Homo-oligomer: A and B are copies of this chain.
Amino acid sequence: MTIPAEIDTPDIMIDLDILERNIARMAAAVREKGLALRPHAKTHKVTEIAARQMAAGAAGLTVATIGEAEVFADAGIEDIFIAYPLWISPQKAERLRRLASTATISVGVDSAAGATTLGSSLGQAAGSVSVLVEIDSGHHRSGVRPEAAAAVAEASSRAGLKVAGVFTFPGHSYAPGMPAEAVAQEQQALREAAESLAAAGFEATRRSGGSTPTALLTDGSEATEVRPGVYVFGDAQQLELGRCAMEDIALTVAATVVSHHETPPDAPARFIIDAGSKILGSDRPAWASGFGRLIDHPDARITALSEHHATVEWPDSRTLPPLGERLRIVPNHVCLAINLVDDVAVTSNGALVDRWAVGARGKNK
């Protein structure tokens, strides 16, 4: 696909046709398993994409912050899960109270102290907020051991909050060969946590799991819902993990070749494009083959990244793309890339058809 002339570089492009296919495919696959789909909107931060996810049957959205929840609630999304162990400041309490008066809000908790603070800060409004206890299923970030879920649920209940269930993020699935093992650990953790709650008299109505690398491997025996995010766009990480193919990539960064590095004879040929870490993001897991991929040149690699430059190592030293040529880059981690722009170019059949605001960009609080 040629980059439409109206698009100057660097810019983020969304292929609407691929986006809609990705949304429909995940919706159908999750529905077939009897699971609810609650896509994580931190990936896209765009209300037009959330609307398409809801129209395809999503049960609601997942977000990471109150600020993201505010944007999507303002856009009419009625059921939002803030999948994060919020520590409630006075400012956050005020905003969460307001939010809970306009939408069905659930939030994560992973400590008795966090639950107590949440409930007491919300006061009268505590009863209108549900909590899901976060479980560590092997990622070792936030979350309690499954057998410790009941204590957090009890503290939540004492604080006036409704206990809706348990959730986990199997983030350790983000490594080659790990998804199957991470899913098994996730399912076991959800079961044990639900048992912990049951023993204390709580029903874990919602048992919520990750995530783009694992969602299609999860069955409905332990989980009731999944929260994939990246599947709408795909990215170089998912590509290298084997969770999507190049033709599933819906988000690319349009870039221009701005410099031909004078390569020493014994070094691989390389050139510089005008897309750096301030539009691609600089995530690079140890197993990734570079800082991003080129959609039409699968053998090329981005070997170095500055704020406004990427160094592309080129497989064929005889035919470097000329200065001024425009290329499409697949970022390693789309969630970071789209958070760096105010709006995105939307294309269909190779033509620019719209621009969408990234409404929840920068909503870190």
Report whether A281 and B279 are in contact in the complex, using a CB–CB cutoff of 8 Å.
Answer: no
Report whether A307 and B282 are in contact in the complex, using a CB–CB cutoff of 8 Å.
Answer: no
A339 within 8 A of B: yes
The interface residues of chain B lying within 8 Å CB-to-CB of A307 are 42, 64, 335-336
A74 within 8 A of B: no
A248 within 8 A of B: no
In the complex, chain A residues 258-314 whose Cβ is within 8 Å of any chain B Cβ: 258-262, 272, 274-275, 277-279, 281-283, 304, 306-309, 311
Contact of A365 among B9, B111, B143, B258 (CB under 8 A): B9
Contact of A323 among B113, B260, B335, B365 (CB under 8 A): B113
A272-B142, A336-B282 known; A86+B258 contact, CB < 8 A:
yes
A206 within 8 A of B: no
The interface residues of chain B lying within 8 Å CB-to-CB of A279 are 364
A260 to chain B, nearest CB (A): 7
A229 to chain B, nearest CB (A): 10
Report whether B117 and A324 are in contact in the complex, using a CB–CB cutoff of 8 Å.
Answer: yes
The interface residues of chain B lying within 8 Å CB-to-CB of A257 are 87
A60 to chain B, nearest CB (A): 19
Chain B residue at smallest Cβ distance from A134 = B259
A33 within 8 A of B: no
Contact of A87 among B140, B274, B277, B311 (CB under 8 A): B274
A277-B336, A307-B335, A335-B307 known; A114+B341 contact, CB < 8 A:
no
In the complex, chain A residues 312-365 whose Cβ is within 8 Å of any chain B Cβ: 322-324, 335-336, 339-342, 362, 364-365
Report whether B259 and A110 are in contact in the complex, using a CB–CB cutoff of 8 Å.
Answer: yes
A8 within 8 A of B: yes
A102 within 8 A of B: no
A140-B261, A262-B145, A282-B282 known; A324+B87 contact, CB < 8 A:
yes
Chain B residue at smallest Cβ distance from A309 = B141
Report whether A365 and B259 are in contact in the complex, using a CB–CB cutoff of 8 Å.
Answer: no
Contact of A362 among B111, B117, B259, B340 (CB under 8 A): B340
* Number of chain copies forming the complex: 2
Inter-chain CA distance A356–B256, complex, in Å, is 33
Inter-chain CA distance A238–B55, complex, in Å, is 49
Report whether B341 and A113 are in contact in the complex, using a CB–CB cutoff of 8 Å.
Answer: no
Chain B residue at smallest Cβ distance from A174 = B306
Contact of A11 among B11, B86, B142, B365 (CB under 8 A): B365
Inter-chain CA distance A231–B261, complex, in Å, is 29
Inter-chain CA distance A144–B262, complex, in Å, is 7
Residue of A86, A259, A306, A335 contacting most chain B CB atoms (<10 Å)? A259
Chain B residue at smallest Cβ distance from A117 = B324
Inter-chain CA distance A261–B138, complex, in Å, is 12
The interface residues of chain B lying within 8 Å CB-to-CB of A311 are 141
Contacts from A to B (Cβ < 8 Å):
8-11, 42, 64-65, 84-87, 89, 91-92, 110-111, 113-114, 117, 136, 140-145, 148, 171, 256-262, 272, 274-275, 277-279, 281-283, 304, 306-309, 311, 322-324, 335-336, 339-342, 362, 364-365
Residue pairs across A and B with Cβ atoms less than 8 A apart, 10 shown, are A84-B308, A85-B258, A87-B258, A136-B261, A142-B309, A145-B262, A171-B306, A277-B336, A278-B362, A340-B364
The 7 A-B pairs of least Cβ separation, nearest first, read: A142-B259, A8-B91, A87-B258, A64-B308, A113-B323, A87-B256, A279-B364
